[in-house]
Amino acid sequence: MNLFLKYITFSLAGLFGIVHTSCQNGTKNPSKPNVIIILADDLGYADVGFNGSPDIKTPYIDQIAKNGIHFTNGYVSYAVCGPSRAGLITGRYQDQFGFSRNPLFAPKDVSQGLPLSEQTLAEALHTVGYKNMAIGKWHLGAHKTQRPLERGFDEFFGFLSGGHRYFPKDLNRNDISEVTAQFDAYNTKILQNNTRIDEQEYLTDAFSREAVNFVKTNAHQPFFLYLAYNAPHTPLEATEKYLSRYPEIKNEKRKTFAAMVSAVDDGVGNILKTLRELEIEENTMIFFLSDNGGNESKGANNGSLREGKGWLYEGGIRVPFAMQWPSVIKKSQKFEHPVISLDIFATVAAQSKINPKNPLDGVDLIPYLTGHMSQPPHEAIFWRHYDRDAFAVRTGASKYVKDRNGKKGLFDITKDISESNAVPDSLEIQKLKAQYDAWNSSNIPPQFDGLMQNKSYNQTHPNRFKDVEKY
Ligand code: CA
């Protein structure tokens, strides 16, 4: 085909693509798909139906995988909440900017959160006219310069800390000026933008309600919804409505955990239903994933994966991960190559024609998901656990891990998903270690004391909770 014909074909395809999309979605901005990221908290790999959960039922979350892509090798950039979220929201390895620990709840300390030099996906989408809302757990800084409304979101409904109580009766601290210890923040009233409100519903249901309202209100324009449920993160708290779905589960922790996941699943169902009713599902990209692997001592199930939350074995970093975008991506596909949460920013940026402020570490997945490219999206994926001098690197089937206890091993992940048989291939180990060192050479040390330093931080910051502004 000569160049001219190619151009004509391309243009016609583009034109029909636009007409097709425009008609189906009723949107004036077909080139700007709506974006919804649904992030679960501490959900294990085998805690969803599409990854074979034997006991938890997730019919609506499973629909996302059925309507699009089931990523079997979907990773996050870290094995605990804060750093993983920093990676997700910036599209960059968080070690590049020193967000390598869970931040402390310290509203007067500007260093405890996402550096202002970083651009969030919401800030990037603002540059092309999106309306953005964050719902749920923030955990990227409680300082007044780092809250969601300062980081690109037009609306916020949720809380600033790393976790929260679920029942309205426990939301008994009026605002952050009444927080006097790290975990007190779990009891604060919920924030609606800058106002503390008296929420009456079970927290997960409240977040789903607000998500549906945001979609309804903004259906006529490109929007980005960052729906970061804190479920099923501890404390394990569920209502009878969801507990009653699991009479056969006898273990109380597991039963409550399952019920909490069901609440998330109902929320996903309500959002999907709303998108369909408004006829905007076709041009909405929905990503579903967990921020890190499950903690099996707190009710989660990582299936065959080794270890869990806090570890760089698969159980800590490989998560339930699915996506749908019906107008572009064919349904019922499995994608086996490794992908990472950082790819979400890169994918959205490419599709929404954003020029990101900082270099991204992720990859636009769309050409791979539509079959235009067949090689793996990533040559290598890396993880660093700075405080334990631990790391992991995966290239193709090979993964080399130095774990938090200093134990090293090379594994063939495609044959040995449980990382149980270390392969004594010193040449391959050398190669992977060299790749890791090259990547790590541009990283910086953590820029703040984290949750593990809570005690020493209190000693060096005796006024941490004194004279905190009401908010
Ligand atoms: Ca988490």
pLDDT tens-digit map of 120-137: 999 999 999 999 999 999
pLDDT digits (tens, 9 = 90+) for 182-237: 999 999 999 999 999 999 999 999 999 999 999 999 999 999 999 999 999 999 99
Which DSSP string corresponds to 409-459?
EEEETTT-TT--S----HHHHHHHHHHHHHHHTT----SS-BGGGHHHHHH
* ∠ Cα 37 40 43 (to 5°): 140
**88 alpha carbon – ligand 1 mean position (Å):** 12
Q: Looking at residue 318, what DSSP letter applies?
A: B
Cα(419) to centroid(ligand 1), Å? 22
pLDDT band at 460 (very low <50, low <70, confident <90, very high): very high
What's the confidence (pLDDT) of residue 220? Answer: 96
Q: Which of 20, 23, 70, 81 is catalytic?
A: 81
CA-wise closest residue to 110 among 142, 81, 153, 138: 142
CA of 124 to the centre of ligand 1 (A): 24
pLDDT of amino acid 13: 41
Ligand 1 centroid to residue 81 C-alpha, Å: 4
In the block, residue with structure tokens 């953590």: 446
* pLDDT tens sequence across 92-124: 999 999 999 999 999 999 999 999 999 999 999
The distance between the two most distant Cα atoms of the chain, rounded to a whole number of Å, is: 72
Instruction: Express each pLDDT in 365-379 by its tens digit.
Output: 999 999 999 999 999
Question: Amino acid identity of 460?
Answer: T
- What's the chain's average pLDDT? 94
Q: Which residues keep their CB under 5 angstroms from ion ligand 1?
A: 41-42, 81, 291-292
Query: pLDDT tens digits, residue range 5-62?
Result: 434 444 444 444 333 333 333 444 458 999 999 999 999 999 999 999 999 999 999 9
Residue range 62-86, pLDDT digits in tens = 999 999 999 999 999 999 999 999 9
Dihedrals φ, ψ of 224, to 5°?
Answer: -125, 120
> What is the predicted pLDDT for the residue at 125?
98
Please tell me the distance between residue 12's alpha carbon and the centre of ligand 1 in angstroms: 45
Q: What's the CA-to-centroid distance between 281 and ligand 1, angstroms?
A: 28
DSSP state of 140: S
Q: Is 93 exposed, middle or buried (0-12, 13-18, 19+ CB in 10 A)?
A: buried
Q: Domain 31-378 classified CATH 3.40.720.10?
A: yes
Mark whether 23 is an active-site residue: no
**Residue 189 DSSP label:** P
Which residue in the list 23, 70, 126, 139 is annotated as catalytic? Answer: 139
Q: How far is the CA of 312 from the centre of ligand 1 (A)?
A: 14
Q: Which pLDDT score is estimated for 31?
A: 80
Q: Which residue has the tokens 């074979």?
A: 52
Known active-site residue 81: yes
Q: Break the chain into its structural domains and give their ranges.
A: 31-378
288 CA to middle of ligand 1, Å? 14
What do you get for the CA distance between the two ends of the chain, in Å? 63
Task: Provide the percentage of residues in the chain whose pLDDT is more than 90.
Answer: 93
Point out the least confidently predicted range of 174-183, 248-257, 337-346.
Answer: 174-183
Task: Name residue 38's beta-bridge partners.
Answer: 227, 288
Tell how far the Cα of 160 is from the centroid of ligand 1, in angstroms.
Answer: 14
What residues are paired with 226 via a beta bridge? 37, 134
d(CA 455, CA 92): 30
Coil vs helix vs strand at 298 = helix
